[in-house]
Structure 1
Amino acid sequence: MAFTSTIGSQRYTFPTLARLLAKATPARSGDELAGIAATSAQERIAAQLALADLPLKHFLTEPVIPYETDEVTRLIVDSHDPTAFAQIGHLTVGELRDFLLSDEATGEVLTSLKWAFTPEMVAAASKIMRVQDLIFVARKIRVVTRFRTTVGLPGRLSTRLQPNHPTDDPRGIAASMLDGLMLGSGDAVIGINPVSDSAQRVTQLLELIDSARLRYGMPIQSCILAHVTTQMEAMRQGAPLDLLFQSVGGTEATNTSFGVSLSLLEEANQQARSLKRGGIGEETGGENLFYFETGQGSALSANAHIGADGLGIDQQTIEARAYAIARHFNPMLVNTVVGFIGPEYLYDGKQIARAGLEDHFCGKLLGLPMGCDICYTNHAEADQDDMDTLLTLLGAAGVNFIMGVPGADDIMLNYQSTSFHDALYIREVLGLKPAPEFQEWMETGKVMGLAVQGLLAR
């Protein structure tokens, strides 16, 4: 089925849903690199007009990647709730936008519809929304998750304490942990990107965090961002693993390039759940165990972005499809690492900001506990002022968590993010607090005890 739109005397035709979605996407360098972006602002507007008139029911009849060849598509189709969809199935994409912005669409209503939405539907809606629309709708939705802390409650903003070190040196990592904890970071997770992807190194780093947790009574959860198979081996060797980590993408081919599949993730999920380490819901192993990371451009960078028509799918739609995997596993945290892949995919601060707000909006509508690594690479056309802007916008949008990196400069991954002080800024300006269990720990003076006793002296 072809889609058409006319502006003045110019008639535009978009032969497939994938082409329509790509042409309607706000400008970004990744889609231009893939050769699928609109060639002019007028063509983009024409596509957005045609997309706004598209009935939501059409998304159920034309998958952008065939059901038979892609397990992410199968997951999306098989998990769709037709009963819930009946409440919105009469709408077009434009009418969905109007509904989302209406008083009728409360947070409770939108939460009840999360299985009615497919990723492609919410991606389509985001393409015809302004920045303020993305903020306004996402702010309505609270997605609360629990392990040893409760993340996502109203009036709260959590952080991942990211104490990476270029040689995985325990003292360097401990110094960064102490710095972050003293400044109120770490209530979402203490998560380390290891230099060495080995079960031994994963175990060593998990033991470092867990010994500090037990010694100082810290209500935190840990995660080592190694490949999921490495974490599984570490668990077999007795590692004190809290949250499972894995990067995921919105196509089966992307996940194959990552070395993962839905069945492997389920195997890891069951193995981690059997450890029963969650302080909240410990009898079942914890309610929420996964920490997923995503990012626009990952499929394109792996040449895994081809759709049913043999051409590329736009990177924002693929990103939304990755959220179908995340919500299937009821995760503790989902983090869009928005500017990490580089300017080839999101060229400058404006594109990074738009993408971060789109990802947060789509994830929240799909029922996910969304956080954002507000970041950029050193060769991008962006700077810390751009990150301050996006941090403030996401804080207003009700983001669940952000990153806490010493000095905002990750010396192991060599990119720029947000600092411990940035989290203090946004909490103060918007009147937000850390997770309640973590706040109580800080207010009882135990954080000062940690400083006095000396984490580095252990």
Structure 2
Amino acid sequence: MRYSHRLRDRTYTFDGLVDLLAKATPDRSGDQLAGCAAESDAERVAAQWALADVALTDFLTEPVVPPETDDVTRLIWDTHDAEAFAPVRRHTVGQFREWLLDTATREDAAARLSAVAAGLTPEMVAAVSKLMRNQDLVSVASATSVTTAFRTTLGLPGRLSTRLQPNHPADDPVGVAGAVLDGLLLGAGDAVIGVNPASDNPRTVADLLRLLDDIRTRYDIPVQSSVLTHITTTIDLIARGAPVDLPFQSIAGTQRANDGFGVSLAMLAEANDAARALGRGTAGDNVMYFETGQGAPLSSEGHLGTGGRPVDQQTLEARAYGVARAFDPLIVNTVVGFIGPEYLYDGKQIIRAGLEDHFCGKLLGVPMGVDVCYTTHAEADQDDMDTLLLLLAGAGCTFVITVPGADDVMLGYQSASFHDVLTTRRITGTRPAPEFERWLAREGMLDGNGRVRALDPAASPLRTLTAEAGS
């Protein structure tokens, strides 16, 4: 189907939904690289006007990526809930935007938005996000609630959780333990303590899993851990009796892009079943941890859709959340600025993408977090990250990633620090997950206002952690 809109004295025509969605997307370097971006601001505005008139039901009959060759499309279509879709079935994309903004102002907003989540496809939410200002994305996301649990309960209103990321370039247990100590003393880790291993060697991964589990059990901390190795390694380690809480996998929005990660939907289902069978959760049984990022399909040449046309990176990113949703994960996060300026050029594009990703994930019913980050060769700085972090806190983000000093010494990029989240919580009045907050209080780590207070590590109940890790 062809779409068109007349703007002033020119008619702009778009060849199908793939072309229309790409041209309606706010400017970003990845779409320019793929050759699908609008050629001018006028063309982008015309595409947005045309997109506003598209019926939501069109997304159920005109695939962005053909189901004959793509298992992600088949998954999205097979799991579509027609009953949940009913309240918005007759809407166009523009009318859906108005419905969302109106619903966000109602007292029962969370219930109403949750009720339609299973009836929405990723393409629908990607489309409506392209018509929204940043303020709109924050407004609707803040009214949406997605709650999951393992040992801590995540996504509750008024809470902002963190992943404690204690990476080390040599996977040194003392270095990892030291970073864990640093984060715990600053109230981080309630979403997950998650290590990116420098090596995918199963023995190294198993050693890191045992280290994190020993810290958790020794100090009776209500947290979950994950070592971010390939899903097949984790499945093998579960079979060998390793203490696995959350299997991890990077995922994308097309079958070909997932092939590039060496992962299939069947593998994800196997890991989900294996981890749940362990019964290690105390507050719930959501066990999967997924990571995504705009530009991943393009980087693996998995970005082509119907008619061989390149699909814009934001729509493909939303499709990754369709994959995640099928496995009831504990947490999902976009590494928004990590892939580099080839895909998100500067702070403006990173901020916009972070808000889009968070909005789309939550609207689809996914427990959405964001790695508020950038690479040092992007046109961005920590001021941009401060802006995004505060906006995400206002939007009700489930969790953000935190690293010592905001500088990941293993992966070589800039993220948020433990201190950044303490400041953000104070400004926005948000708190950590309730189970973790009670542990902080029990250990005397909160002041009279419920804020993490300064502690002398030598006097902390965690003082032996690094020494024992070395032995």
Q: TM-score, normalised by structure 1?
A: 0.97
Q: Deviations over 1:345-393 (max 9, x none)?
A: 0000000000000000000100011100000001000000000000011
- Match of 1:332? 330
- Match of 2:21? 21
Aligned pair count reads: 453
* Contact kept in structure 2, 1:166 and 1:411, CA below 8 Å: yes
Residue 450 (structure 1) shift = 5.2
Match of 2:116 among 97, 103, 113: 113
- Match of 2:153? 150
Q: Deviations over 1:109-145 (max 9, x none)?
A: 0100001110000000000100000000000011111
Match of 2:465 among 430, 455, 458: 455
Matched, 1:228 2:231: yes
**Which secondary structure does the structure 2 equivalent of 1:75 belong to?**
helix
Matched, 1:322 2:312: no
* Contact kept in structure 2, 1:405 and 1:420, CA below 8 Å: yes
Q: Distance in 2 between matches of 1:414 and 1:400?
A: 25
* Contact kept in structure 1, 2:174 and 2:467, CA below 8 Å: no
- Match of 2:292? 294
* Contact kept in structure 2, 1:182 and 1:451, CA below 8 Å: no
Matched, 1:431 2:426: no
- Match of 2:168? 165
Matched, 1:76 2:86: no
1:20-419 to 2 correspondences below 5 Å: 20-102=20-102, 103=105, 106-281=109-284, 286=285, 288-419=286-417
* Contact kept in structure 2, 1:178 and 1:451, CA below 8 Å: no
Residue 233 (structure 1) shift = 1.4
* Contact kept in structure 2, 1:323 and 1:363, CA below 8 Å: yes
Higher alpha-carbon deviation: 104-113 or 5-14: 104-113
Q: Deviations over 1:163-190 (max 9, x none)?
A: 0000000000011000000000000000
Residue identity opposite 1:172 in structure 2: G
Q: Distance in 2 between matches of 1:60 and 1:198?
A: 43
* Contact kept in structure 2, 1:376 and 1:416, CA below 8 Å: yes
**Which secondary structure does the structure 2 equivalent of 1:3 belong to?**
strand
Distance verdict in 2 for CA 1:446–1:277, change over 3 Å: farther
Aligned-residue RMSD, C-alpha: 1.1
Q: Distance in 2 between matches of 1:268 and 1:57?
A: 34
Q: Distance in 2 between matches of 1:32 and 1:56?
A: 27
* Contact kept in structure 1, 2:29 and 2:343, CA below 8 Å: yes
Residue identity opposite 2:467 in structure 1: A
Residue identity opposite 1:237 in structure 2: R
Distance verdict in 2 for CA 1:303–1:33, change over 3 Å: same
Distance verdict in 2 for CA 1:267–1:452, change over 3 Å: closer
Q: Distance in 1 between matches of 2:37 and 2:392?
A: 26
Structure 1 unpaired stretches of 5+: none
Q: Distance in 2 between matches of 1:313 and 1:453?
A: 52
* Contact kept in structure 1, 2:28 and 2:343, CA below 8 Å: yes
Q: Distance in 2 between matches of 1:106 and 1:21?
A: 27
Q: Distance in 2 between matches of 1:251 and 1:347?
A: 23
Residue 278 (structure 1) shift = 0.8
Residue 451 (structure 1) shift = 4.2
Higher alpha-carbon deviation: 431-440 or 81-90: 81-90
Residue 452 (structure 1) shift = 5.3
Q: Distance in 1 between matches of 2:222 and 2:228?
A: 20
Residue identity opposite 2:100 in structure 1: L
- Match of 1:420? 418
Q: Distance in 2 between matches of 1:408 and 1:257?
A: 29
Residue identity opposite 1:12 in structure 2: Y
Residue 234 (structure 1) shift = 1.4
Structure 2 unpaired stretches of 5+: 446-454
**Which secondary structure does the structure 2 equivalent of 1:13 belong to?**
strand
Q: Distance in 1 between matches of 2:444 and 2:211?
A: 18
Higher alpha-carbon deviation: 446-455 or 381-390: 446-455
**Which secondary structure does the structure 2 equivalent of 1:256 belong to?**
helix
Residue 453 (structure 1) shift = 3.9
